Amino acid sequence: MVLKKEKGSAERILVDERLQHIAFIMDGNGRWAQKRGMPRKYGHSVGAQTFRRIAGYCREIGIHYMTVYAFSTENWKRPPEEVRAIMGILEDYIQKFSEMTEKESIHIRFIGNLSVFSKDLQEKMENLDRETASNPFHLNIAINYGGREEIVHACKALICEGKTDIGEADIAAHLYTAGCPDPDLVVRTGGDTRTSNFLLWQSAYAEYHFTSVLWPDLSESDVDAAVAAFYSRHRRFGGV
Ligand code: FPP
């Protein structure tokens, strides 16, 4: 990590090649809204704005890959109104992204079991991924995503290909994140200290950072704190 002083502005953090991929478990939207006497869905819509702001900031500080947990395979158990609200935000985002300026620099990829979504939405997600593929900042949005489901999906794909001798690289190549480096840092907001079925395979050697800040409140300086915590750790990857 380096601290960079830019003309007329305060010193700020820039990451180096040790921190290429940051992942976020965006927790706390519901509580954030309820604290304000608002319906939980309001927290998700403010959370979506936070997502755009934080993605922009991560790009600015030199991160190349960012993954967010937007909707898990377990989130369907929520009240139908809340599920509809989150899906509405995602669809809106997919629709609007083509017109956004970020389109020039962000590669959007949706990870998860997308087969449950309408053909039309699947097509839009695929198009967005394809049209933005050459952009330098890679943003993975996990929807209908579960880490266990992803591993089962990879194994089934290998069986279908007739593979009998399976190694780690084969599994990694069939995950939804294939081609993307593993996360170096996973940040969970909202105060809980669980992985909640997020990037189970990919996070084998990730550093975790937990903060009680609720996702809609996450600020650029909270990201700096997570980055600083990452650089304070000694990553041994199983060595000494
Ligand atoms: C967890 O907070 C949050 C979710 C399950 C949904 C996250 C979705 C968004 C922020 C919208 C994302 C949009 C885009 C475009 C990526 P929670 O509801 O579990 O909060 P709680 O713990 O306070 O109940």
Residue 237 reports pLDDT greater than 60: yes
Atom of ligand 1 nearest to the CA of 34: 23
Residue 113 reports pLDDT greater than 70: yes
Residue 73 reports pLDDT greater than 70: yes
Q: What local confidence, expressed as pLDDT, does residue 235 receive? A: 76
**Percent share of the chain, pLDDT over 90:** 86
Residue 78 reports pLDDT greater than 80: yes
Q: How far is the C-alpha of 117 from the C-alpha of 128, rounded, in Å?
A: 15
Assign residue 45 a region: left if phi > 0, alpha if psi is -120 to 50, beta otherwise? Answer: alpha
- For the question of residue 75 being annotated catalytic, the response is yes
Mean pLDDT, residues 38-56 taken together: 97
Residue 88 token pair = 């509405």
Set 27, 29, 140, 144: catalytic member: 27
pLDDT band per the 50, 70, 90 thresholds, residue 33: very high
In the reported structure, the alpha carbon of residue 148 is separated from the centroid of ligand 1 by a whole-number distance in angstroms of: 20
Q: What local confidence, expressed as pLDDT, does residue 87 receive? A: 96
CA angle 161, 166, 167 (to 5 degrees): 135
Choose among 197, 228, 199, 198: nearest CA to 211: 228
Mean pLDDT, residues 17-23 taken together: 97
Q: What local confidence, expressed as pLDDT, does residue 58 receive? A: 96
Q: What local confidence, expressed as pLDDT, does residue 203 receive? A: 98
Q: What local confidence, expressed as pLDDT, does residue 3 receive? A: 60
Residue 90 reports pLDDT greater than 60: yes
Residue 201 reports pLDDT greater than 90: yes
Mean pLDDT, residues 176-202 taken together: 98
Set 75, 113, 135, 197: catalytic member: 75
Q: Average pLDDT over the chain, rounded to whole?
A: 93
Q: How far is the C-alpha of 147 from the C-alpha of 165, rounded, in Å?
A: 22
Q: What local confidence, expressed as pLDDT, does residue 106 receive? A: 93
In the reported structure, the alpha carbon of residue 31 is separated from the centroid of ligand 1 by a whole-number distance in angstroms of: 10
Q: What local confidence, expressed as pLDDT, does residue 4 receive? A: 60
